[in-house]
Structure 1
Amino acid sequence: MTAPDFVHLHVHSEYSLLDGANRIGDLVKACEKDGQRALALTDHGNMYGAIELYQKAHKGGIKPLMGCEVYIAKRSMHEKHSKANGNGYSHLTLLARNMEGYQNLVKLTSAGYVDGFHYKPRIDMDLLRQHAAGISCLSGCLAGEINQLTRTGKEGEAEALATDLRDMFGPEHFWLELQRNGINIQADANEALMRMHQRTGIPLVATNDIHYLRAEDCHAQDVLLCINTGAKKADKDRFKFETDTLFFATREEMTHMFRDLPESIKATNDVAEQINVELEFGTYHVPEFVSETGESPDQIFDRLLEERLVKLYGSDSQAARERLEREKGTIRELGFVSYFLIVWDIIKWSRDNGISVGPGRGSAAGSIVAYLLDITRLCPLKYDLLFERFLNSSRVSMPDIDIDFCKEGRERVIEYTRERYGRECVTQIVTFGTMASRTVVRDVGRALDMPLSEINRVSKKIPAGPGAPSLAVALETDPELQAFKALGPEWEELFAYSTALEGMARHVSTHAAGVVITPGPTVNYVPLGRNGDDITTQFPAPQLEELGLLKMDYLGLRTLTIIDRCLANIKKRGLEPPVVDELPLDDPGVFELLMAGDTLGVFQLESEGMRKLLSRLKPDCFDDVVAVLALYRPGPLESGMVDMFVDRKHGREAITFPHESLVPILGNTYGCLVYQEQVMLASVELSGFSLNDADNLRKAMGKKKPEIMQKFSAQFLEGAIANGCDPDVAQNTWDNIIKFGGYGFNKSHSAAYALITYQTAYLKAHYRTDFLAANFSCEMGDSNKIKDFIDDCKKSDIRVLMPSIHESEWEFKPTQTPEGGEAIRFGFGAVKGCGRGALEAMCKVRNELLEEKPQLTFHEVVTAVDPREMGKIAWEAVIKSGAFDELQHNRGSLMAALESAMADASSLAKDRRSGQSSMFDAFGGAEEVSEEKPAAGIDDRFAITKAETLALEHEVLGFYLSGHPLEERAGLVSLLSSSPIKRLAEVGSSESTVRIAGLILQKAELVVKSGKMAGSKMCRFRLEDLSGSIGVTCFPRTYLEVRDLIEDGAVVLCSGKLEEGSDEPAMLLDEVMSLKDALARFQGGIELRVDPKDRAKLAVIKETCDRHKGQNPLFLQTEGDDGLTRRIRAGRDKGIAITEELANELCEILGHDRVGIVRV
């Protein structure tokens, strides 16, 4: 017998964050499989999943019932003093019955977050009454107020509430909600509800409060609750569901469950039958631009474009005029005039108010309209950029103009947008943090109370990042993960729960850049949510775009901030800074810098791999800069396209073209298909495609769907042959497009970003000190980047001067050495423990003191600053950084004198606040009074050693600046290491052993809590060389053998494997030895990376090696013009004796990164 129709009306998905364990797609499939014709979604307090349900349900032929299980405040939603876990709210199940009800549900859930949020997004009965129209209501689960009242013997109050709700929603739109989940108190609640039904006639309806898909999924959902509450699964008193029945029951199961109340099953269909909500997609809701001049959007649009066309191209440029008219026609046809004007207005305001804006980003750089409106600053005609790549009238979608702003000005731009277009109309956008494979393993491991060290070890083995397989796939294919899983039942549980929960929403965040701008209040279009203090949409960006809303990305680009700071530095030095948007694009100094790979700090060109490519490619024109940004990606690198491009540029491979008509299109890329625009132009030129069709081909290539590509293949070949092309040539051209075109990059984006690349390269080439100081100031929170820039300064003979109590400001600043050399003064902002407000207050007082006298004492500086503005921790950090070294006092002695000086500072500040200082000044006696108390004594008995000084310096800077404990042994450290630490990321595989000589810091001894080694000791420490530091883990067996060698401050050689998947390099230790033992045991030779053209340096190397003759072989490594590395062994009579002295001399000549060892 076929089961009666039934509809689930109370359903939680993953958007009931860390509570619901259902994916909406799985729920829809379950409906299809069981023949259920509708599906509700009633997540806790929100509508996050409403659009996903609507779209997926319709696609599956299921009616979507959009709803919410709202939180009702017991009194007013505006009262926010109840405890989080108290009875301050109850639950109620609401379903939107029609569009009015949908809009009311949007307003209710929005108000819960915007006005009623207190631990939960709460509304109250007054608000519910105002927005009840068009909503169907169910009385709720055990947490519903009706059930709460009956449980406490207040059945009369419960009935009164039920009749009130019936009157509020209408007698046909309110039901008493029955659930049969095996919980004793639920059975009692059901009895009370049935009695109420008999007395009032309010209908009953059956639900199952679905939280997971299948009965067996209750265990994974239970783990989800543990993640939510921070509890361990084994905890006895933790919060958990006392049932395993909250799954997606079939029609048959629900009918059987309520076999004595068939009307409650039928009622589910009655509820669903009433519901009919049709959302509108594809209609655009762009605010109409309102001009202060009173012009219509079309009038101001035409005027601005005409004025700029004449200014930039003259009045008789036919090509620019035709391109403009074509673009204007499309923009008008699609209704986007106001959109462009809004973007123009925001960018104009930003530039007028001193906020830097990037020259363009993405495909918008292909639009001459965007160029003429000064939205972009790159002529699309000059660089063959295509409007159709940006806006295609045959593939209608909202334009996407992303804008880069100076990072520090971004919030001001958003605030202007709010003021200009209405605060209630400008809203930030929600994003969802998900339980990615590594995250979910860590979360589940904590819930199962597994040792954190073990969980971290396995999580690092899991593939991560774009394109990484799912955890389930990785478990099937990765032997290491399979070995973990085989360790026992606990590990099987870990992976079972992790695979079940992987990818589910974990928390909400605010989109890093996106805001939505609506014609009226945003709440009239989409529900609002909250993330901390941010009010956001409840729907993510892709869904907002599908609903036709205007989304804009305000991206904060640090590089624009660096450029601004660099120009300010230049101006402070009394020089006229260049206008970066007007730089000549053929400056020899720029290309000399790029060819040398001297690009630390240069936009998009900083990585080691990119620097190597620059050295091979040797760019000598702006087109090459555009190309290199497009080429340095996995596809072109792995396909051989990069090698072809480099070899063709330097004449090592002939430049060929698939067809002579493509020479103008592929000429500046040496016949290589580098850009998507080249694919589009080739299909237009050779096969007669329209630009719209060409863009559709470009998009199809990205999707790689065979049936679509087959259609385009036929169109391309037929068109080419019809245009007189030989069939074989046409086929060969198509094959080339398929082979390389799929790797093509968006030239509009590459060209726009190449301008920023060029600007930063120009500033580094011509204003290096100012540029590097700007980079320092923008990276003050990253000690590794600071170290990299210090190394870069050393190569350029720019001294990085210690923090100075007389000269340092919050930021780094360019200056000169006493000898007149280029220098950068260290900024207090890079000193840990120094808050900006405190240090800027100190600098202000310090500058006032310096107006009176050029040299200050420790006591004068400290006592002049109110301790309420700068406390002891900040002063200690300043001392430890070395800022007072110029006063010739030991840092330990100053630390000891600080407390007394601050006590004096407190007294003086109190006097200033009480007005005593002013009184004495009035009588000319302030000076005499201050002299009555002698300056705080600085006692040399508290002086500390150089090693202790350096340790304190490292503590507050994150690295050594005034010296390094390894300096005297730098040559041997470099020689014995297989790689400097900062280059370990290039080593890669955990299969190979690496050797790192360095200094042990921050040793921490741990006790293993569980497993075979429970009770055994292991340790972790950081190992630092002259280039950086690395975390090292030493497990019990190894630690037992080497523990005597592992002490803070010890200089050792560590050997081990790199941990795969770490965010930064980390080592699993296999062996430790002293440098003396390592050198004594070493068998092999020295390898020197040399420049064969530098004859003078080669002569010095030869003379040095001749003084250290021995039996060890000497190898020379060189790089040819083709980019290939070659190793040459010196003659048998050129053997050397490897000693620490030789290592130091060679490192002094070549640099630490050019001297290494070779095991033979």
Structure 2
Amino acid sequence: MTAYAELAARTNFSFLEGASHGEDMAEAASLLKLTALGIADRNTLAGVVRAHSAAKDRGLRFHPGVRLVTRCGLTQIAYPSDRAAYGRLCRLLTLGNRRAPKGQCDLGLEDICAAAEGQYFILIPPPEIANLDAHGSWARSIAPLIAAAPRRIYLGAAHLYAGADQRRLEALAHLGRAQRLPLIAIQDALYHSPARRPLQDIMTCTRLHTTLAKAGLALQANAERHLKSTLEMARLFRHYPHALAHTQDLSQALTFSLDELRYEYPDEIQGASATPFEELVRLTWQGAQWRYPDGIPDKVQDLVDKELHLIGQLNYAPYFLTVEDIVRFAHGRGILAQGRGSAANSAVCFCLGITEVDPARIDVLFERFISAERNEPPDIDVDFEHERREEVIQYIYARYGRARAGIAATVITYRWRSAVREVSKALGLSADIGAALSGAVWGWDEAVDSERLAEIGLDPADPLLRQTIALARELIGFPRHLSQHVGGFVITRGPLEELIPIGNAAMPERTFVEWDKDDLDALGILKIDVLALGMLTCIAKALRLLDGHYGRALTMATIPAEDPTVYAMLQRADTIGVFQVESRAQMSMLPRLKPACFYDLVIEVAIVRPGPIQGDMVHPYLRRREGLEPVTFPSEELRAVLGKTMGVPLFQEQAMRIAIVAAGFTGGEADRLRRAMATFRRNGTIHLFKEKFVNGMAARGYDPAFAERCFSQIEGFGEYGFPESHAASFALLVYVSAWLKCHYPDVFCAAILNSQPLGFYAPAQLVRDARDHGVEILPPCINASQWDCTLESRNQANFAVRLGFRQIKGFPQTEAERLVAARPPGGFDGPRHLWRAAQLTGASLERLADADAFRCVGLDRREALWAVRGLDQGAAARAGRLTALAPLPLFAQCDQAEEAAETALPPMPLGTHVAMDYAHLRLSLKAHPMNFLRGRYRARGIKACAQIGEVKDGRTIELAGLVLVRQRPGTASGVIFMTIEDEGGIANLIVWPKVFERFRRAVLGARLIWVKGRLQREGLVTHVIAGELDDWTKDLSALCLDTTIEPAIAHADEVKRPNEDRRHALQQRAAQLTLPPSRDFH
């Protein structure tokens, strides 16, 4: 019977060529009953693991290959016959990748010939091969490869459906006989189904930067480039049956499988131990004595013994030593580092200094981290200071070499905006229509209904518009390109380039492998996550400032624990800038939960998560905590599991322990249950676990309803896992950051500004919050500022925060360092002195003037700009801006210079000052934009945020403010939470889905928004339930008009001047555009 294997298929990892996922190709090949499937993407192995896993699930034989395209355009598909050949193929791709910029591969035929041993090749002839001239020249060009791989080369024959297929096949058969190359039948499939042809056309247009109307012959002539059945292929190649038979011959010759890849850990031993395991044992017990100087608790000893036994059994000791080595390097450099995630369930990790969760205080579940039954490698995530993580990364490269270490890939995929942009371009829609469509959807997965299209001025019945939307939906989730992972490192004992191809990253001195974390997990290849956490940077800087200015040399471990004033601040939800608890959801939860000890913070971090919310565990826990519901336990055996959380399961470990204790699961089964939940929407096998779980609990006497709730909670955890150990790791950072803010708000403010970007709030809100806590904030100054924000002594009690040059938009750090180095003891006396002494560029001088940094020498912003631009009248006349000038050497040391005759300049209005502050500093110390509107709004009955406390619960209220944050959590069923700000404070808005649909444009687009709604107060938590909203951004033009504001808002750093009437339309528009954008999370 005729059999067929497709060995020339492409996936969408042949970027902008293939139009199907590898999983789709595998499923279609299985349904078509092909004997095997080979995936060969253009110069990459990036997509083979996904196809391999999908084929394996379906029992389909799979061959990983590469479509090698040389710099001169020759194309050949390479398939490795064994593990050694696969290593050579990876090394070949690495060679091409490292020669070229990111995303490109530079290979010559000579490179392929050098790596030809063990490879089987399918030569892909050019479409014009039937032409005699092309026939001869192409045959000569491939001769070196034929010589390098004798008897391992096939000649690919495919139907192109271009009108001359029979003539072309005859030419190929003739060429095959002449060159002694067997003919092999291929489909050269670009997609799994004919329905994908329109999408493939879009991708072709995107690749060629053209439109469908202009693409012409560059498009496929029809929809035949899809996978076909054996019967159809037999019909197409009825005159060449041997071509089909050769697909079976080649498939049988390809014995290599990705399952053969074996990850080997680095095994360097720095101590005197004979084996990695002995060294791990030594370091672990040495660390245990350091952690517990008064004696190692029996509980910890038992945990360490158990863990070490399992680690030795599974041969994971080298992996733990590698992570310990990296963390030890960071600690030695004074870089804060802390492990998190499931690794915090390990007592060994705690003793090694990798994590900070004390197993003596927290119940850890090692099976959540490592399980012999699961037979999957551990995954250790370590956070480092985000500004110093590069030091750690370069240490890894230096320690293990680039041949053995590389960062994992991240697959950047099309989302709605990028998908609709590309499709609309390809279909020839105008840029305006494309922009309107791309802005019509929030996030990934909303439908674009007719009402929404009409709202943005488009015709819902337009067939081209509907086709655009349909094709964009198909494109969502397709890979756009590869990027480097945030920090997942693969480190090997042998050459990494023989395991995975390596390529250049866009960042200098960075390389990354072609597989992402899911690919690595699927093949059991370990990675170490070297992650960046901004709050660690903030804490490290704060501790240095605390030591330098207050003389308190503290560490995260020695900061006073269980401080009642810190918990009182948290209970008030006074948490702007505090790690993890500054979101609106967390700030709403804090006054209800009222944390009073460290474990309460662990619960606080974990409870505002999809798992507990979807499992309906939050409200029962809060009712019990508030004494509104009795604390009960389904059984005594579960009291030990649920005692600390009042009988309500909140953590992954608790859910797993319930499965073990109450449902009869083993530790490995419980973790497999948790992992199965993560994919339950796709694999449809969750009912098998649910039945075992619920029936197991019922058999042990538990209420079936309670069993159902427990299972629902595990289901929520599956996709949004948050183990207790991870929550404890984060809770430590919550407490430390809260302690710093509570006791040293000046230190905390300077440190968090010096660590931006970080957290929910922009610098303007962080500065405002610090001022609300009594911290004086000083503006940037040419004679006082450093690059970083600094502390200046004001009195015996505290310090003022001087804004640093880093706060000035577009001002380079190198220029700031040059300025500080050149600053004389008495300071600069003006722009010319600064220019000559520091040799700053003209652009940098203008940025200083724009930022109003010359007030210390008696110049306000307008005067400073005039003086700076007057330093070179010729350049100013030519370009309108000062160019990058340096003084002549003869005058470089001059202290004084003859200044140009003074010009009387009209004063700049305060509103314009504020607008320019926001444009160049992203904040203003002079006034809030809403100050200029308060008189107008007060007359209309619009209240200030500070007046919310005067309004009774349930009453209607009108507010207007700048939009700070928009957030739509995945568990909120479409509800949007907004935070707005005026000159007196902030207000929290809740926008229900129906209201959102009515006022969508205002909700998504407004910089200044008006809201009318109902006040809702629950304890200390206050919200406004929005009923109506409107975009009032146009009112911000008042910043540049003659608008009188209350004198009290002009702060000490503002020189008092009368407001001037200067109504400039461009300034009005600028005022609307210079405010920093809101921070949107969805």
Give the TM-score normalised by the residue count of structure 1: 0.77
Q: 1:626 Cα deviation (Å)?
A: 0.5
Query: In structure 2, what is the Cα distance between the partners aligned to 1:480 and 1:684?
Result: 55
Query: In structure 1, what is the Cα distance between the partners aligned to 2:815 and 2:317?
Result: 49
Q: What is the DSSP-based 3-state SS (H/G/I as helix, E as strand, rest coil) of the residue aligned with 2:762? A: helix
Q: 1:759 Cα deviation (Å)?
A: 0.6
Query: In structure 2, what is the Cα distance between the partners aligned to 1:160 and 1:637?
Result: 68
Residue 800 (structure 1) aligns with = 777
1:728-1127 equivalences in 2 (<5 Å): 729=702, 734-735=707-708, 737-738=710-711, 740=713, 742-743=715-716, 745-779=722-756, 785-817=762-794, 822-846=799-823, 849=824, 851=825, 853-854=826-827, 856-866=829-839, 870-901=840-871, 911-912=888-889, 933-941=897-905, 944-964=908-928, 966-970=930-934, 972-973=936-937, 976=942, 978-982=959-963, 985=966, 1058-1059=999-1000, 1065-1067=1004-1006, 1119-1120=1018-1019
Query: In structure 2, what is the Cα distance between the partners aligned to 1:702 and 1:195?
Result: 54
CA contact (8 A) 1:973 1:1025 kept: no
Residue 952 (structure 2) aligns with = none
Query: In structure 1, what is the Cα distance between the partners aligned to 2:502 and 2:85?
Result: 16
Q: 1:992 Cα deviation (Å)?
A: 12
Q: Deviations 1:1005-1025 (Å, cap 9, x if unpaired)?
A: xxxxxxxxxxxxxxxxxxx98
Residue of structure 1 aligned with 2:503, choices 495, 504, 529: 529
1:611-622 equivalences in 2 (<5 Å): 611-622=587-598
1:214-363 equivalences in 2 (<5 Å): 214-235=193-214, 239-241=218-220, 244-280=223-259, 283-293=262-272, 295-313=274-292, 314-315=294-295, 317-358=297-338, 360-363=339-342
CA contact (8 A) 1:426 1:515 kept: yes
Q: What is the DSSP-based 3-state SS (H/G/I as helix, E as strand, rest coil) of the residue aligned with 1:628? A: helix
Query: In structure 2, what is the Cα distance between the partners aligned to 1:18 and 1:1029?
Result: 46
Q: 1:943 Cα deviation (Å)?
A: 5.2
1:613–1:965: structure 2 CA closer, same or farther, 3 Å change rule? closer
Q: 1:379 Cα deviation (Å)?
A: 1.1
Matched, 1:587 2:563: yes
Aligned partner letter, 1:752: S
| Most deviating of 317-326 and 738-747 | 738-747
Residue 69 (structure 2) aligns with = 71
| Most deviating of 590-599 and 739-748 | 739-748
Query: In structure 2, what is the Cα distance between the partners aligned to 1:447 and 1:214?
Result: 21
Q: 1:986 Cα deviation (Å)?
A: 6.8
Q: What is the DSSP-based 3-state SS (H/G/I as helix, E as strand, rest coil) of the residue aligned with 1:43? A: strand
Residue 38 (structure 1) aligns with = 36
Matched, 1:515 2:486: no
1:132–1:985: structure 2 CA closer, same or farther, 3 Å change rule? closer
Aligned partner letter, 2:822: V
Matched, 1:139 2:159: no
Query: In structure 2, what is the Cα distance between the partners aligned to 1:365 and 1:632?
Result: 20
Q: What is the DSSP-based 3-state SS (H/G/I as helix, E as strand, rest coil) of the residue aligned with 1:901? A: coil
1:795–1:575: structure 2 CA closer, same or farther, 3 Å change rule? same
Query: In structure 2, what is the Cα distance between the partners aligned to 1:213 and 1:672?
Result: 48
Aligned partner letter, 1:304: L
Matched, 1:365 2:344: yes
Residue 954 (structure 2) aligns with = none
Q: 1:760 Cα deviation (Å)?
A: 0.5
Q: What is the DSSP-based 3-state SS (H/G/I as helix, E as strand, rest coil) of the residue aligned with 1:580? A: coil
Q: What is the DSSP-based 3-state SS (H/G/I as helix, E as strand, rest coil) of the residue aligned with 1:20? A: coil
1:658–1:90: structure 2 CA closer, same or farther, 3 Å change rule? same
CA contact (8 A) 1:8 1:38 kept: yes
CA contact (8 A) 1:476 1:482 kept: no
Q: Deviations 1:141-192 (Å, cap 9, x if unpaired)?
A: 417xxx68x868365444344444332211x322233333144787776565
1:353–1:937: structure 2 CA closer, same or farther, 3 Å change rule? farther
Aligned partner letter, 1:52: R
Q: 1:271 Cα deviation (Å)?
A: 2.6
Residue 1061 (structure 2) aligns with = none
Q: What is the DSSP-based 3-state SS (H/G/I as helix, E as strand, rest coil) of the residue aligned with 1:834? A: coil
Q: 1:879 Cα deviation (Å)?
A: 0.7
Aligned partner letter, 1:114: R
Query: In structure 2, what is the Cα distance between the partners aligned to 1:854 and 1:347?
Result: 43
CA contact (8 A) 2:384 2:532 kept: yes
CA contact (8 A) 2:277 2:317 kept: yes
Residue 128 (structure 1) aligns with = 112
1:452-851 equivalences in 2 (<5 Å): 452-462=431-441, 464-465=443-444, 468=445, 486-532=460-506, 534-637=510-613, 640-682=616-658, 691-692=667-668, 694-696=670-672, 699=675, 705-718=686-699, 720=700, 727=701, 729=702, 734-735=707-708, 737-738=710-711, 740=713, 742-743=715-716, 745-779=722-756, 785-817=762-794, 822-846=799-823, 849=824, 851=825
Aligned partner letter, 2:690: M
Larger Rg: 1
Residue 724 (structure 1) aligns with = none
Q: 1:1027 Cα deviation (Å)?
A: 7.8
Query: In structure 2, what is the Cα distance between the partners aligned to 1:254 and 1:121?
Result: 33
Give the TM-score normalised by the residue count of structure 2: 0.82
Gaps of 5+ in 1: 74-87, 721-726, 919-925, 999-1023, 1031-1054, 1073-1077, 1079-1083, 1090-1116, 1128-1142, 1149-1160
Residue 77 (structure 1) aligns with = none
| Most deviating of 240-249 and 108-117 | 240-249
1:387-426 equivalences in 2 (<5 Å): 387-426=366-405
Q: 1:730 Cα deviation (Å)?
A: 6.1
CA contact (8 A) 2:615 2:709 kept: no
Query: In structure 2, what is the Cα distance between the partners aligned to 1:1125 and 1:214?
Result: 51
Q: 1:528 Cα deviation (Å)?
A: 2.3
Residue 87 (structure 2) aligns with = 103
Q: What is the DSSP-based 3-state SS (H/G/I as helix, E as strand, rest coil) of the residue aligned with 2:212? A: coil
1:917–1:389: structure 2 CA closer, same or farther, 3 Å change rule? same
Q: What is the DSSP-based 3-state SS (H/G/I as helix, E as strand, rest coil) of the residue aligned with 2:74? A: strand
Q: Deviations 1:215-252 (Å, cap 9, x if unpaired)?
A: 45332211112223332222357954456543323334
CA contact (8 A) 2:5 2:251 kept: yes
Aligned partner letter, 1:326: K
1:1068–1:824: structure 2 CA closer, same or farther, 3 Å change rule? closer
Q: Deviations 1:537-596 (Å, cap 9, x if unpaired)?
A: 122222223333220101100000000111122233252232221233311121011011
CA contact (8 A) 2:15 2:480 kept: yes
| Most deviating of 157-166 and 20-29 | 157-166
Query: In structure 2, what is the Cα distance between the partners aligned to 1:562 and 1:63?
Result: 52
Q: Deviations 1:344-395 (Å, cap 9, x if unpaired)?
A: 111011001111102x311211211111111112211311122222112222
Query: In structure 2, what is the Cα distance between the partners aligned to 1:835 and 1:512?
Result: 25
Aligned partner letter, 1:751: A
1:241–1:737: structure 2 CA closer, same or farther, 3 Å change rule? closer
Q: What is the DSSP-based 3-state SS (H/G/I as helix, E as strand, rest coil) of the residue aligned with 1:856? A: coil
CA contact (8 A) 1:636 1:743 kept: yes
Matched, 1:12 2:16: no
Query: In structure 2, what is the Cα distance between the partners aligned to 1:991 and 1:685?
Result: 37
CA contact (8 A) 2:266 2:491 kept: yes
Q: What is the DSSP-based 3-state SS (H/G/I as helix, E as strand, rest coil) of the residue aligned with 2:557? A: helix
Query: In structure 1, what is the Cα distance between the partners aligned to 2:704 and 2:974?
Result: 44
Q: 1:13 Cα deviation (Å)?
A: 1.0
Gaps of 5+ in 2: 681-685, 875-881, 943-957, 989-995, 1027-1043, 1050-1082
Q: 1:692 Cα deviation (Å)?
A: 4.7
Q: 1:938 Cα deviation (Å)?
A: 4.2
1:289–1:119: structure 2 CA closer, same or farther, 3 Å change rule? closer
Q: 1:854 Cα deviation (Å)?
A: 4.9
RMSD of aligned Cα (Å) = 4.1
Name the % identity: 24
Aligned partner letter, 2:485: H
